Amino acid sequence: MQWLNEFLTAYSRAVTNSGESAWFPFSTYRFYPLHYDLDLKRWDHVSATAKRKGATPQALATTIAGPLTIRTDLHFALHAGKVANEWEAERTKRVIEFLHELCQYRCPINEDRYGLYSAQIHNRDEIQALVQNTPWYAIANQRARSVGNLIMAAIHTAYAYYCDFCYLQWFEVLGPYNLPDGRKLIIRRFSNFQPTEVWPGPFASFRSLDILTVYRQADIVVDQWSHITSKENLAECLESAAVLMDGAWVEPEQWEKIMVELGQIAANVQNQWRALDFEQRKQGTTFKVRYGTNY
């Protein structure tokens, strides 16, 4: 598996850009070997079912929002094989090859399939059509703050809903896409603000949100975990933006209203987490597992 070195290099870069407890909080159940075994069984069952029903990896890959979900599960599968002491087992090999194949098909037009510097799922014609059909709004002063505040509110809400699961699977960054005039396009995609399957509420009045931003004179890197890095100040390089909510374009006058709604939801859900004492439990479990003692 020659691709594995590139995947792990991309993973290491993402870890370097991440705060362990802040950006990617531990889900404590993953400390237990039983659940690593269940992870492998789950994906082995998925791959076997897909094969039995004639579902091709190409078709399956298009049902997944972006490459981040596949890359994350591939990382978990690699780690699960190690922890469960099944690195050479046939089941582990089947799962890893299945996820690797999905990853390849989800990024078919991009050599960077493992997230060394990008997360691209659109070809050039698709990006050209998207740029032409998007109602772009020029960014300056107050509108720039509105875009930044909306992005942060959306990220905090996604984190609040999914922090015990890994919110990467409900928020990811696509791009950077190089436009013909040298500008860069970034798409921040939030797939589900109504996660009834994992949380009792409250929920947003909408389900999905795409925030599209175009930057001038900026070199941008999107790593394996959707961190955006650049040597330039991206706030100063931001030229235009657009917001797509549940498939409909939203005018700038509504951006602040969406931001306030998401901010209130994030605060509400975070208070629910605090009532569950999540952070203290997470810290306590980490200390006990790593150091054999309570803190």
For 47-64, what is each residue's pLDDT tens digit? 999 999 999 988 988 888
Place of tokens 């809903």: 161
Burial of 280 from C-beta contacts in 10 A (0-12 / 13-18 / 19+): exposed
pTM for the whole structure: 0.85
For 251-274, what is each residue's pLDDT tens digit? 999 999 999 999 999 999 888 877
For 112-154, what is each residue's pLDDT tens digit? 889 999 999 999 999 999 999 999 999 987 788 999 999 999 9
> What residues form DSSP beta bridges with 173?
188
- In the predicted structure, residue 98 carries a pLDDT above the cut 60: yes
What pLDDT shows up at residue 154? 95
The residue that leads in pLDDT, 20 or 215, is 215
How high does pLDDT run on average in the chain?
84
For 183-207, what is each residue's pLDDT tens digit? 999 999 999 999 887 778 889 999 9
Q: How far is CA 137 from the centre of its chain?
A: 26
- In the predicted structure, residue 77 carries a pLDDT above the cut 80: yes
Task: Tell me the mean pLDDT in the region 20-34.
Answer: 47
What pLDDT shows up at residue 270? 83
Give 31's pLDDT tier (boundaries 50, 70, 90).
very low
What pLDDT shows up at residue 62? 83
Residue 158's closest CA among 186, 192, 187?
A: 192
Give 159's pLDDT tier (boundaries 50, 70, 90).
confident
**Percentage helix, strand, coil for the chain under 3-state DSSP, each rounded to 5:** 50, 15, 35
> What residues form DSSP beta bridges with 98?
none
Task: Tell me the mean pLDDT in the region 100-120.
Answer: 87
What pLDDT shows up at residue 40? 83
What pLDDT shows up at residue 34? 54
- In the predicted structure, residue 285 carries a pLDDT above the cut 70: no
What pLDDT shows up at residue 269? 87
SS3 of residue 182 by DSSP:
coil
